Amino acid sequence: MGKLQDQALLKHSSYWQGNWQSAERSFNVTNPANGEIIGTVADATAADAEKAVAAADTALSDWAARPAAERAKFLMRWQQLMLQHQDDLGLLLTLEQGKPLAEAKGEIAYGASYLEWFAEEAKRVYGDTIPAKSNDQRIIVIKQPVGVVAAITPWNFPNAMIARKAAAALAAGCTFVVKPAQLTPLSALAMAELADRAGIPAGVFNVVVSTDAKAIGKVLTEDPRVAKFSFTGSTKIGKQLAKQCAGTVKRVSLELGGNAPFLVFADADLDAAVDGLMASKFRNAGQTCVCTNRVLVAENVLDEFTTKLQQAISKLKIGDGTYDEVDIGPLINTEACTKVDELISTAVTQGAQLKCGGKRQSDNSLFYLPTVLSKVTNQMDIAQQEIFGPVVALQSFSDETQAIQLANATEFGLAAYFYSRDIGRIWRVAEALQYGMVGINEGMVSNPTAPFGGVKQSGYGREGSKYGLDDYMDIKYLCLGGLDK
Ligand code: ADP
């Protein structure tokens, strides 16, 4: 780790109450590109998580009472520090997560953009007045922070998934405790170091790193001092954690798995569609919840589209994310590779055709070759489960009705994409798709001005946009009576 310009960004333990906290045991963080150990981190326990929650609880009243403009200033200082250290934070992220450096730095800027956005939104938490039924009363609505927020985040966006929750929570006046994924704790700890440097008061932003996700999760979902729980991760774990939250009736936001369809209609600009698909499929080696999972192409343009797509794929450079011009880094671990292998081999047994890729670069590496499978059907596992790898699974459709029916035939509803140049069709299909987000002639939809989130079993709650603070605020209705003389 000699390459960091600011070595103090490499931290080795959890952070709460404004202090770095030791633990009895520790665990290693490894680089998926080569298996090297890049850091050793203290392994927090459930008792530690309780202490972090206590710190957030103690800090709450002071933080919530500050004027929004003051909280905004802290967020802006934090944002500026993240951008100042973008190179180091990006490198750290590539080393622990694997994505190419340019993407990693992009994630830092993306994470920082949520801090900026919510610093601004903090100043616009408007209430309301409602005409009362009698002259004797006035009805007023105010918004207040929900309280202590706990979050659990995944490894695929080690910075941004924390930034976009913490930014909204802190802007709203809540204090925050996060358990990052154990595979990528270093980015989270570097964020805590910068929060500290930004002067964010002790106990407002806390990070608990641990290998015991279950035990920490139990505290964060069951402790009565936590008012709101926000989770990004798999649908299976999200459902479990939502149940755990029921005991104390916490507010819950869930951003879970997706099964994004990417529809290419016959009237589409096929070159633009290929570009959009490349961006939405291969970003982070296919390991994002909004990555295209199923590609549905009008049957009369399927051959032409497939040829163009394979040309684009043949140009992808796969390798260690710290090397120049790499487009695709390693998958996160061996289990991820095995899962992709199994989905592909099962699909081939069921009649899909492997056109390229279908295996790792070499047996022991985690670099998975960009893969194209044709003749996939919606019933196959590969079309129903999140692939989380660089695999294009091609299906075809005969008309718009069938395209929509296939696109919606999943329990998930996070992101969908489609390409068409017909304005009537664009409107019809956009309304018919049962998804929280729809990219229309666009393969990348995430940005802080827009509400990110899903429907169906992809979860609920929205991150970013003018709606993003709602998840962290309670509405309080004040009825002012006795006004008659
Ligand atoms: P992924 O497939 O992306 O790893 P997970 O849902 O397993 O998705 O993990 C997302 C986050 O949830 C990680 O921080 C992980 O440590 C955490 N996690 C996994 N299992 C549990 C659990 N039983 N309780 C609490 N957190 C969990």
Q: pLDDT tens for residues 249-263?
A: 999 999 999 999 999
User: Which residue has its alpha carbon closest to ligand 1 atom 23?
Assistant: 214
User: Which residue has its alpha carbon closest to ligand 1 atom 4?
Assistant: 154
DSSP 13: S
Taking Cα atoms as reference points, which of 125, 124, 166 lies closest to residue 143?
A: 125
The CA-CA-CA angle for residues 95, 87, 103, to 5°, reads 65
User: Which residue has its alpha carbon closest to ligand 1 atom 13?
Assistant: 181
User: Which residue has its alpha carbon closest to ligand 1 atom 14?
Assistant: 181
Encode pLDDT of 334-389 as tens digits: 999 999 999 999 999 999 999 999 999 998 899 999 999 999 999 999 999 999 99
Q: Would you state the pLDDT for residue 3? A: 87
Domains of the chain plus CATH, in order, are: 7-256+458-477 (3.40.605.10), 260-448 (3.40.309.10)
Six-digit token string for 136:
């004797």
Q: Would you state the pLDDT for residue 2? A: 56
Encode pLDDT of 211-241 as tens digits: 999 999 999 999 999 999 999 999 999 999 9
Average pLDDT over residues 58-84: 98
- 174 belongs to the catalytic site: no
CA distance 264 to 324: 32
- CB of 75 within 8 A of CB of 122? yes
Q: pLDDT-derived band of residue 174, with 50, 70 and 90 as boundaries?
A: very high
Query: Is the pLDDT higher at 324 or at 159?
Result: 159
Is residue 187 over pLDDT 80? yes
- 479 belongs to the catalytic site: no
Query: Is the pLDDT higher at 2 or at 226?
Result: 226
Instruction: Rounding to the nearest 10 degrees, give the CA dihedral for residues 161, 328, 385, 305.
Output: 120
Q: pLDDT-derived band of residue 318, with 50, 70 and 90 as boundaries?
A: very high
DSSP one-letter string for 153-200:
--SSSTTHHHHHHHHHHHHHT-EEEEE--TTSHHHHHHHHHHHHHTTP
Is residue 188 over pLDDT 70? yes
Q: Would you state the pLDDT for residue 485? A: 79
CA distance 149 to 229: 6
Catalytic residue among 255, 386, 400, 463: 255
Six-digit token string for 285:
């080696």
Q: Would you state the pLDDT for residue 239? A: 98
User: Which residue has its alpha carbon closest to ligand 1 atom 19?
Assistant: 213
Query: Is the pLDDT higher at 184 or at 364?
Result: 184
Q: Would you state the pLDDT for residue 279? A: 97
C-alpha 218 – ligand 1 centre gap (Å) = 12
Run of H or E residues at 282: helix 270-282
Q: For a pocket test of ligand 1, which of 219, 237, 385 has the largest count of ligand atoms closer than 8 A to its C-beta?
A: 237
Query: Model pTM greater than 0.95?
Result: yes
* Residues 6+ away with beta carbon under 8 Å from 351: 375, 377
Q: Would you state the pLDDT for residue 363? A: 86
Encode pLDDT of 387-445 as tens digits: 999 999 999 999 999 999 999 999 999 999 999 999 999 999 999 999 999 999 999 99
Spell out which residues line ligand 1, taking CB within 6 angstroms: 152-154, 179, 181-182, 213-214, 217, 233-234, 237, 240-241
C-alpha 233 – ligand 1 centre gap (Å) = 6
Q: For a pocket test of ligand 1, which of 234, 245, 254, 334 has the largest count of ligand atoms closer than 8 A to its C-beta?
A: 234
Q: Would you state the pLDDT for residue 1? A: 58
Average pLDDT over residues 101-124: 98
C-alpha 304 – ligand 1 centre gap (Å) = 41
Residue 371 burial (10 A CB sphere; 0-12, 13-18, 19+): buried
